[in-house]
Structure 1
Amino acid sequence: MMPYLLSLGAGILVGVIYALIGVRSPAPPTIALIGLLGMLVGEQVVPVVKRLVAGKPVVAFIQTDCARHVLGPQAGGNAPDKPATGERA
């Protein structure tokens, strides 16, 4: 139940922000996509800060795990996974 309440709260917060900056909801596609990108990038702030506090390497983490999360599995400097049997590349 908690994830649903958090999702509702985030939606209300975004609605308030849209109202404050004068953007209609649903937002125009470009604004909505930039907002989604901001959410993906913002989601990576917590793990990066945790790694900084723990004294673990951060740059490599950003180049691999964060990049893969934000840009998709083809990002992160690793070769793409081989397709499963029967799938096309």
Structure 2
Amino acid sequence: MKIYLLSLAVGLLVGVLYYVLNVKSPAPPLVALLGLLGMVIGEQLIPVIRNLMN
């Protein structure tokens, strides 16, 4: 649980820094979230396939 809170805190800090420095996000929020979802699915997919093959 601690790692999730740390990740959230860092994300909030980066968001505040982007706002203070008037920097645009490198990707639109929806695109970024879909990219993260793809990474999570890809990370979980290989172990699931391996378990199904055994």
User: With structure 2 as the length reference, what TM-score do the two structures score?
Assistant: 0.49
Higher relative contact order (CA 8 A, sep 6+): 1
Q: Which of the two has greater helix per residue?
A: 2
User: With structure 1 as the length reference, what TM-score do the two structures score?
Assistant: 0.35
